[in-house]
């Protein structure tokens, strides 16, 4: 049974970096058939996909247009986890952040989700 466990601070100051980690159990971050995603949700922006990391003989990333210049998603094979870093945050980045596994069946399906982390950007 695949599970994702998120961790990270719930409060970040403006202009600083938001950092979250998602620990994977029951699957591997190096899986050749899965991708590892970050998604956020706020009342003003709805569900917003932030990006993903995946391994297909080499590591690759895709990032959402709205955060492309500020985001990094990294895998950590030694700990079987992946992380989100979002730089230069503003109050607009206040949201519930989710990590999720996606499969391509062939369509993209976000089939396993983490529990969510409420992150508030405020001084």
Q: Are 8 and 19 in contact (CB under 8 A)?
A: yes
- By beta-carbon proximity to another protein, the closer residue of 7 and 16 is 7
First to last CA, the chain: 40
Residues that bind another protein (CB under 8 A): 37, 39, 46-49, 52, 62-65, 98, 100, 102, 105-111, 113-116
- By beta-carbon proximity to another protein, the closer residue of 14 and 118 is 118
Q: Are 99 and 117 in contact (CB under 8 A)?
A: no
> Least distance in Å: CB of 15 to another protein?
26
- By beta-carbon proximity to another protein, the closer residue of 13 and 104 is 104
> Least distance in Å: CB of 74 to another protein?
19
Consecutive H or E run containing 9? none
Strand pairing report for 117-121 and 11-12:
parallel
């Amino acid at each position: 049974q695949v599970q994702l466990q998120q961790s990270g601070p719930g409060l970040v100051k403006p202009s600083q970096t938001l950092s979250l980690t998602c620990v994977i159990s029951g699957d591997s971050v190096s899986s050749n058939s899965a991708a590892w995603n970050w998604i956020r949700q706020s009342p003003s922006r709805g569900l917003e996909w932030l990006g993903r990391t995946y391994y297909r003989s080499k590591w690759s990333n895709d990032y959402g247009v709205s955060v492309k210049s500020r985001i990094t998603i990294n895998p950590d094979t030694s700990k079987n986890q992946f992380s989100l870093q979002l730089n230069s945050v503003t109050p607009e980045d206040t949201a519930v952040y989710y990590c999720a596994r996606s499969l391509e069946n062939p369509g993209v399906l976000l089939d396993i989700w983490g529990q969510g982390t409420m992150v508030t950007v405020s001084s």
